[in-house]
Amino acid sequence: MGSAVRVLAEATPATRDRYVDLLRVGSLAVVVLGHWMMAAVTPDGVGNLLAVVPALQPLTWLLQVMPVFFFVGGFSHALSYRSLLRKRPGGPAASDASASASADSVYAAFLRARLQRLLRPTMVFVLVWGVVALLVQLLGGGGGLTGVTLRLVTQPLWFIGIYLAMVAFTPPLLRLHERYGWGAFAGLAGAAAAVDVLRFAAGVPYVEFLNFAFVWLAVHQLGFLRADGRLGTASASASGAGSTPGTGLRALRSLRVPALLAGGGLIGAVVLVAAGPYPLSMVGMPGEKVSNMAPPTLALLAHGLWLVGAVELLRAPAARLLARPRAWRTVVAANGVAMTAFLWHLTAMLGVYGVLLALDVPLPEPATAAWWAQTPLRLAAAAALTAALVAAFRTFEHPAPPSAATPAPGSGPLAALGATLCLLGVLGLSMVGLGGLLEGRTALLIAIPVSAPAAVAMTLGGWLLVERAGRGAR
C-alpha cells in the first residue's frame, strides 16, 4: 500500500486543492474520536459521557464537525458535476435542446459515480453485520451489550443517507447557485429559520423534519460558493516569506468572508442557545426534549457557519503544511480508507468493550478517575481493531473503473428514483438497527414502518436502478 500511496501522492496535479482532502479526512477522524470518547459503557448498557458530565457539552462546539464534511462535499460535488458537463457531447457550446438531453444523462452518470464510492463499502458493512445479527439471534442471543450493539452499529448510517440526498440535489441546487450565488444560500438559511419559527412559535407539528433538508443543504451550498472562490482565495504563500505589502493586504482582504462567517455564526449560535429553546449541546443527548441534531435546528446552522469560517481561516497555513511530501502522503493514505474506518469504528469500540466484559475486566463508572485512566488504553485498542477491520474491507472503498458507456437520454428520472430509494433505505436502516430481526422489529420512517430487511432491499433496489441508468449502453 505504501508504494501505491507514494505514486498517487506524487501524481497529484498542482491545481488540486489539498486542503479539501485534509478537511474530509480530519472531520471524519474527529467524529470517530468523539464517538469513542462519548461512549459511557457499563455492563448494563451504553450511555453518553456528555449526559454524565454536562460541563463537557461546550466541547461539542468544536467537535461536532459534520457541517465541515458536508461543506467539503458541496465543493467536491460542484467540481465533479461541472467536469462531467464539460465532457458531454458538444461540451459547453451544445445547443439548448442537446444540452438539456445530455445534462439528463450526465446526472445519471454523476449519481452512479458518487453512489458507487459511498454504497460499495456501506453495503458490505450492512451485509456482513446482517449475517452476524441473524446468526446471533437464531442462536438465541441478542441481549445485553450484544443487543445494544445490534441497535447502535447502524446509527452512523444517517450520515450516509443525508449525504446521498446532497448528491441527488446537487444539479438543481448548483443551477440555483450559478444564478443567485449567495442568494441561493440565503434562501435555504431563511427556510431553516422559518421552519424553527413554525415549530417553536406556532407549534406546527412535524414541520421540524424539513430542516433535515434546509439546514444541511444550506451548509452544502457553502461548498458551491467555495468552489467559485466566493469565500476568499488566500494563497498558501500569501503571508509567507518574501511576500510584498500588496500581496499581504490582498491576503488579509481575502479572509474577510471567512472571518464574518466564523464570527457571525459563533455569535448567532450563542444568542440562539442563550435566548431560545435550543440546548447547549450540538450533538443529540438522551432524553432531551429538543435536539440540535435530530432534526437540525437554526442553532446548528449557525454552528456550521462558525466552523466553515474557522476552517477557511486556516486554509493558507494548512496548504503550506500539505506542500510537504510526507504530510500529503499521510492525507492521501487516510483518504483511501476514511469511509471504511468510519463505517467500522463503532464495531471496533463495542468489540473492545465486549472483550473486556468477556474477560471479566472491571469497567469503572464513567467519568471517574479510574475511567479516565483506562481511556487511553481503550482508545488505542479501538484504533488497533479499526485498523484491522480497515485492512480487511478497504478494497471495497476503491472506486470501480469508470464506464465507457454513455447513459441514454431520459435516464435522469430513473437515476433520481434509485437515489431516493437508496437514501430512504439507508436512513431507515440507521433508525431500525439490526436487532429484533426474527420478531420483525420496525421503526417509523416518514410515518411508514420500516424493517431492516425492507431497508436493505430498498437500498439495493435503488442502487440497481442508479447503476442501470448511469451505465448506459456502449
| Euclidean distance between CA atoms 131 and 242, whole angstroms | 61
98-104: list long-range contacts, CB under 8 Å, 24+ apart: 101/409, 101/410, 102/409, 103/171, 103/412, 104/409, 104/410, 104/411, 104/412
pLDDT of residue 6: 85
Query: If you average pLDDT over residues 192-214, what whole number do you get?
Result: 95
Residue 427 has pLDDT above 70, yes or no: yes
pLDDT of residue 267: 97
Residue 67: closest CA among 163, 161, 176: 163
Query: If you average pLDDT over residues 193-208, what whole number do you get?
Result: 94
pLDDT, one tens digit per residue, over 266-283 is: 999 999 999 989 999 999
Q: How confident is the model at residue 411 (pLDDT cuts 50, 70, 90)?
A: confident
Residue found by looking up cell 500569501 in the block:
238
pLDDT, one tens digit per residue, over 20-71 is: 999 999 999 999 999 999 988 887 778 899 999 999 999 999 999 999 999 9
User: Lowest mean pLDDT: which of 3-17, 178-192, 384-398?
Assistant: 3-17
pLDDT of residue 131: 94
Helix (H) / strand (E) containing 84 = helix 66-87
Percent of the chain with pLDDT over 70: 89
Which residue did the predictor score with more confidence, 293 or 88?
293
| Euclidean distance between CA atoms 218 and 81, whole angstroms | 18
**3-class DSSP string for 216-265:** HHHHHHHHHHHHCCCCCCCCCCCCCCCCCHHHHHHHHHHCHHHHHHHHHH
Query: If you average pLDDT over residues 166-174, what whole number do you get?
Result: 95
Which cell numbers in the block locate residue 455?
431497508
pLDDT of residue 468: 86
Residue 209 has pLDDT above 50, yes or no: yes
pLDDT of residue 235: 43
pLDDT of residue 242: 47
pLDDT of residue 236: 39
Residue 439 has pLDDT above 50, yes or no: yes
Question: Strands 39-42, 442-445: parallel, antiparallel or unpaired by DSSP?
Answer: unpaired
pLDDT of residue 194: 97
Q: How confident is the model at residue 148 (pLDDT cuts 50, 70, 90)?
A: confident
pLDDT of residue 233: 58
Which cell numbers in the block locate residue 209?
423534519
Q: How confident is the model at residue 436 (pLDDT cuts 50, 70, 90)?
A: confident
pLDDT of residue 341: 95
In this prediction the pTM is: 0.90
Is residue 413 within 8 Å of 368, Cβ to Cβ?
no
| Euclidean distance between CA atoms 360 and 188, whole angstroms | 52
pLDDT, one tens digit per residue, over 225-240 is: 999 999 975 443 344 4
Cα 381 from chain centroid?
Answer: 25
Residue found by looking up cell 462546539 in the block:
61
Residues 6+ apart with CB under 8 A from 144: 43
pLDDT of residue 140: 85
Q: How many CB atoms lie within 10 A of CB 411?
A: 25
